[in-house]
Structure 1
Amino acid sequence: MPKTGREKNTANKAKHSKLIAQKKNKAKSKDADRKAKLKAIVEFGKSKKANSNSKS
């Protein structure tokens, strides 16, 4: 028979889920920021290379 009264782990599970979601979102945002920085660097390099080719 199921126990009566207060539910056992709901508060801890909710807190854990929230923290894990924060961790995943932080990792996603860091990854997105890193990709954006790399993309900007590549674009800068391409534009610089194009400028140097047009000058020669």
Structure 2
Amino acid sequence: MGVMNDYMVGYYGEGFDMSTAIFPAAEYTWMIAIIIIALIALWQARTFVSQF
């Protein structure tokens, strides 16, 4: 599967297969989630301020 799978196998052991994981990219997906939440918060703040 590539470099990412090699990192995962090195971290979790030989029996780990990234393609069968429940949440495959959990190592860095939390960063993407935080960015999305921050963008939504900025959009909400912008629409709130524009009411005044």
* Structure 1 stretches of at least 4 aligned residues deviating more than 4 Å after TM superposition: none
Percent of aligned pairs sharing the same letter: 3
Higher-RCO chain (CA-CA 8 Å, sequence separation at least 6): 2
User: Structure 2: where are the runs of 5+ without partners?
Assistant: 1-12
User: Structure 1: where are the runs of 5+ without partners?
Assistant: 1-15
Q: TM-score, normalised by structure 1?
A: 0.49
Q: TM-score, normalised by structure 2?
A: 0.52
Counting helix residues as a fraction of each chain, which structure ranks higher? 1
Aligned to 1:44: 41
